[in-house]
Amino acid sequence: MREYFLIALVAAAVTYLLVPLVRLFAIRIGAMPEVRDRDVHTTPTPRLGGLAMYGGLVAGLLFATRQPWVAQSLADPNLAGGQTVLALIAAGGLITITGFLDDWWGMDPFIKLGGQIAAAGLLVAFGLYLQWIPMPGTAALSLDSTLRTVITILVVVVAINAVNFVDGLDGLAAGIVGIAAMAMWAYSIVLSTTMGDTRINATAAITSVLIGICAGFLPHNFHPAKIFMGDTGAMLLGLVLASSVVTVTPIDSSALSATINRFPLVLPLLLPVAVMVLPLLDLWTAVVRRTSYGMSPFAPDRGHLHHRLLDIGHSHRRTVLIMYAWTFLFGFSVVGASIFSVPMIVFVGIVILALIALFLMALPRLRERWQGGGGGGGGGAHAAGRRRRPEDDSPGGLATDPMAG
- State the amino acid at position 394 in one-letter form: S
Tell me the three state secondary structure of residue 84. helix
| Cβ atoms 251, 130 nearer than 8 A | no
For residue 140, the SS3 value is strand
Distances (CA, A) of 197 to 137, 192, 211, 255, 387: 21, 6, 21, 10, 52
Q: Does 164 appear as a known binding residue?
A: yes
Q: Count CB neighbours of 120 within 10 A.
A: 29
d(C-alpha 53, C-alpha 270), whole Å? 28
Three-state DSSP class for 139?
coil
State the virtual CA torsion across 193, 335, 286, 206 in degrees, nearest 10: -20
Give the 3-state secondary structure of residue 401: coil
What angle in degrees, to the nearest 10, is found between the helix axes of 316-339 and 172-195?
Answer: 10
Question: Is residue 231 a known part of a binding site?
Answer: yes
Question: CA 345 to CA 356: how far, in whole Å?
Answer: 17
Q: Which amino acids are annotated as binding site, given as ranges?
A: 164, 231
Q: Which amino acids are annotated as binding site for Mg(2+), given as ranges?
A: 164, 231
